[in-house]
């Protein structure tokens, strides 16, 4: 038997109802209400926040005997896995969190309908398109299609095209040790249509995407492994990363989701200079040049000033060494720091210095002469690499908080995000951040007064404040605490798009 089912593919017709309520029933799917079935939420709306799914047996009753569950929120390009429930009719709600509470009654509902969970079937609920007016797709497929299955070493595969621009594409499949020349067409996939089930040998494969009827490969995965006789759904969606390929491919199984970028996709990075002038760097005047893979005649970034970001550089993914030099003297201040650029990702590299007390004899005493001062300090010049968020949610924003204040009186700074009806003590959103150790927080759209507070001995000290207003048009942000000699407090907060 060939490893690929070469029989022609027949698509079942798709019917569109209100709110794009779509049913595709897999062969042999029954309507029996005995036993159990599964519900699976997949969020494919690129500007959606986390989406919460609620199942309720009777929406009009509040009875402990009735089944009512709100599942954990699912972010963009993520899936819930299969939730097992009794085979029954349920009311379904989809909602997002617009307040501090994620209790069902406090969520903002965007969709409600009635569905039937049938025995041994998976009911996929898929959120697509612009989340301000989302389109909800519903598909019911068999957990395992047993028709003509005499070999347990087969897996089940369906394809769903959610790429709104590529309304019709061809999907090819080859074994991982073969090329496109040996690949077989497994699906012509139209927008928002799910293919019929196909069975293949458990093995490692490569997927290819072309325009319908074309042999030009526009997308190719790395090796994709199938190790279980499960139901798999391969979803084509738009690429919102940095590579020029228009597609990414999500592999959705019963329990998890894997995303596959275009094999060989490019990556990008930019750099921030947080290296303060220091007496132990006498020739450094607040600027550096950056070289990749050794110092040569031409730096990739030139004369980057303190407190500034470089332009974004797009290059091949891979591992690079980074050197920094002082432009005026050529003196090296960082050598061979590792920078790993991941396919289709955008990263920001921060460079900063840190003081350390010198303990030459290792006795733990850095004030050998007893004059109340550290006898000697040294500095290290460090790099910090952060992966930028790709979230495009219109209702909340991802904030990466980093502080570069090297102060012997405190190492931790707490950031309070205070709304108009709060004070610091009652603020719901706060994060404690260590030196050069990023912390992420997701903030619902609002206006916040941001306080950076450090503890010196028993006292809380406000280092600095700023105002942060988040709207549907806001970017995901870096919030950086720096020393600032021009500020009244000696510190300032810089906010900049990721």
> So what's the pLDDT on residue 377?
79
State how far the Cα of 181 lies from the Cα of 84, in Å rounded to an integer.
42
State how far the Cα of 186 lies from the Cα of 220, in Å rounded to an integer.
14
Contact 225, 256 (CB under 8 A): no
> So what's the pLDDT on residue 408?
86
> So what's the pLDDT on residue 18?
35
> So what's the pLDDT on residue 60?
79
| Cα→Cα distances 182→6, 177, 185, 214, 221, Å | 13, 10, 10, 16, 15
Q: What is the pTM of this model?
A: 0.86
Domains of the chain: 18-260 (no CATH), 265-388 (2.60.40), 390-498 (2.60.40.10)
State how far the Cα of 281 lies from the Cα of 331, in Å rounded to an integer.
10
Contact 264, 218 (CB under 8 A): no
User: Which two tokens mark 478?
Assistant: 């870096």
> So what's the pLDDT on residue 2?
31
Q: What is the mean pLDDT of each run of 10 residues along the chain (498 residues)?
A: 30 33 38 77 97 92 79 97 96 96 95 96 97 97 70 88 91 97 96 96 97 95 94 96 95 96 97 95 97 94 97 96 97 97 97 82 66 75 96 96 94 97 98 97 98 95 98 97 92 96
């Amino acid at each position: 038997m060939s490893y690929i089912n070469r029989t022609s593919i027949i698509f079942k017709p798709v019917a569109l109802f209100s709110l794009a309520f779509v049913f595709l029933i897999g062969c042999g799917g029954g309507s029996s209400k005995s036993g159990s079935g599964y519900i699976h939420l997949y969020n494919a709306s690129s500007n959606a926040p986390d989406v919460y799914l609620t199942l309720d047996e009777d929406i009009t009753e509040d009875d402990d005997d009735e089944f009512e569950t709100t599942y954990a929120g699912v972010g963009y390009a993520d899936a819930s896995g299969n939730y097992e429930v009794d085979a029954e009719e349920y009311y379904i709600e989809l909602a997002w969190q617009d307040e501090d509470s994620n209790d069902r009654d406090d969520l903002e509902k965007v969709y409600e309908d009635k569905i039937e969970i049938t025995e041994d079937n998976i009911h996929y609920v898929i959120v697509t398109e612009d989340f301000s007016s989302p389109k909800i797709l519903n598909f019911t497929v068999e957990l395992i299609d047993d028709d003509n299955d005499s070999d347990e070493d087969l897996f089940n595969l369906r394809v769903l095209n959610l790429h709104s621009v590529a309304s019709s594409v061809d999907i090819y499949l080859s074994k991982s040790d073969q090329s496109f020349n040996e690949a077989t067409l497994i699906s012509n996939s139209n927008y928002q249509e799910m293919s019929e089930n196909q069975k293949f040998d458990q093995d490692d494969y490569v997927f290819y995407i072309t325009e319908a009827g074309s042999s030009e490969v526009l997308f190719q995965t790395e090796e994709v492994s199938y190790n279980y006789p499960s139901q798999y759904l391969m979803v084509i969606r738009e690429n919102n990363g940095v590579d020029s390929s228009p597609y990414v491919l999500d592999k959705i199984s019963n329990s998890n989701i894997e995303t596959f970028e275009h094999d060989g996709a490019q990556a990008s990075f930019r750099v921030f200079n947080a290296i303060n002038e220091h007496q132990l760097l006498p020739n450094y005047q607040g600027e550096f040049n950056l070289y990749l893979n050794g110092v040569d005649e031409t730096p990739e970034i030139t004369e980057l000033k303190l407190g500034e970001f470089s332009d974004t550089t797009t290059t091949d993914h891979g591992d690079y060494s980074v050197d920094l030099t002082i432009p005026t003297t050529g003196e090296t201040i960082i050598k061979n720091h590792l920078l790993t650029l991941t396919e289709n990702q955008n990263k920001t590299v921060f460079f900063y210095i840190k003081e350390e007390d010198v303990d030459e004899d290792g006795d733990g005493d850095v004030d050998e002469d007893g004059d109340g001062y550290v006898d000697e300090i040294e500095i290290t010049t460090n790099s910090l690499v952060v992966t930028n968020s790709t979230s495009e949610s219109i209702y909340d924003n991802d904030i990466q908080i980093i502080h570069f204040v090297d102060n012997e009186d405190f190492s931790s700074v707490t950031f309070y995000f205070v709304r108009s009806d709060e004070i610091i003590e009652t603020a719901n959103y706060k994060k404690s951040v260590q030196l050069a150790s990023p912390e992420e927080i997701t903030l619902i759209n609002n206006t916040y007064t941001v306080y950076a507070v450090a503890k010196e001995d028993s006292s809380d000290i406000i280092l600095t404040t700023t105002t942060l207003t988040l709207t549907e048009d806001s970017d995901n942000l870096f919030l950086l605490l720096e020393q600032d000699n021009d500020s009244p407090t000696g510190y300032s907060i810089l906010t900049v798009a990721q």
